[in-house]
Amino acid sequence: MKRDLQNYYRDLRLKIRNADAQMFVAQLARKQEVNSAFFYDFVVNAEGKLMYVFWADATSRKNYKHFGSVVSFDSTYTTNQYDMIFAPFTGVNHHLQSVFFGAAFLLNEKTESYVWLFETFLKAMGGVAPTLIITDEATSIKNGIDEVFPTSVYRLCMWHIMEKLPEKLGLVIREESEFWKRMNACVWGSETVTEFELEWNSIISEYGLEDNEWLTKRFSLRESWIPAYFMDISLAGILRTTSRSESANSFFNRFIHRRLTFVEFWLRFETALECQRQEELIADNSSIHRTPQLVTPWAMEKQGSQVFTYEVFGKFQEQVISARDHCCVQGIAQDEGIKIVTFKTGASRVREVRCDTTTMIANCSCRLFESHGIPCRHIIQVMRIENQKKLPTFYIMERWKKRCKSESVYDEQGNLLEENPTDSLDAAARKKISTVRNKLEDLIQRAKQSDEGMDF
Residues that bind Zn ion (CB under 5 A): 364, 366, 376, 378
Of the pair 68, 375, the CB lying nearest Zn ion is at 375
Of the pair 66, 378, the CB lying nearest Zn ion is at 378
**H-assigned helices in 254-293:** 262-289
Cβ 366 to Zn ion shortest distance, Å: 3
Cβ 402 to Zn ion shortest distance, Å: 25
Of the pair 131, 322, the CB lying nearest Zn ion is at 322
- Torsion sign, CA atoms 419, 422, 423, 425: positive
Contact criterion met (CB below 8 Å) for 123 and 64: no
Of the pair 351, 430, the CB lying nearest Zn ion is at 351
Cβ 343 to Zn ion shortest distance, Å: 8
Of the pair 248, 376, the CB lying nearest Zn ion is at 376
Report which secondary-structure segment, H or E, holds 52. Answer: strand 50-56
Cβ 313 to Zn ion shortest distance, Å: 18
Short-list 71, 66, 69, 126, CA closest to 405: 66
Of the pair 105, 343, the CB lying nearest Zn ion is at 343
Of the pair 99, 374, the CB lying nearest Zn ion is at 374
Contact criterion met (CB below 8 Å) for 375 and 303: no
- How many beta carbons lie within 10 A of that of residue 64, not counting itself? 26
Of the pair 381, 415, the CB lying nearest Zn ion is at 381
At residue 235, the 3 state secondary structure works out as coil
- Please list, in sequence order, all residues whose beta carbon lies within 8 angstroms of the beta carbon of residue 172, skipping any fewer than 6 positions away: none
Of the pair 366, 409, the CB lying nearest Zn ion is at 366
Cβ 296 to Zn ion shortest distance, Å: 18
Cβ 379 to Zn ion shortest distance, Å: 6
**Counting Cβ atoms within 10 Å, is residue 35 exposed (0-12), middle (13-18) or buried (19+)?**
middle
Cβ 410 to Zn ion shortest distance, Å: 38
Cβ 350 to Zn ion shortest distance, Å: 11
**Separation CA 379–CA 238 (nearest Å):** 20
Q: Helix 377-385 vs helix 299-307: angle between axes, to the nearest 10 degrees?
A: 130
Cβ 233 to Zn ion shortest distance, Å: 17
**Separation CA 23–CA 28 (nearest Å):** 9
Cβ 391 to Zn ion shortest distance, Å: 14
Short-list 275, 453, 237, CA closest to 366: 237
Euclidean distance between the first and final Cα of the chain, in Å?
72
- Please list, in sequence order, all residues whose beta carbon lies within 8 angstroms of the beta carbon of residue 53, skipping any fewer than 6 positions away: 24, 25, 28, 40, 41, 42, 43, 104, 105
- Torsion sign, CA atoms 208, 211, 216, 217: negative
Cβ 196 to Zn ion shortest distance, Å: 19
Of the pair 65, 354, the CB lying nearest Zn ion is at 354
Of the pair 79, 345, the CB lying nearest Zn ion is at 345
Contact criterion met (CB below 8 Å) for 408 and 430: no
Q: Residue 219 half-sphere exposure, CB side, CA atoms within 13 Å? A: 19
At residue 334, the 3 state secondary structure works out as strand
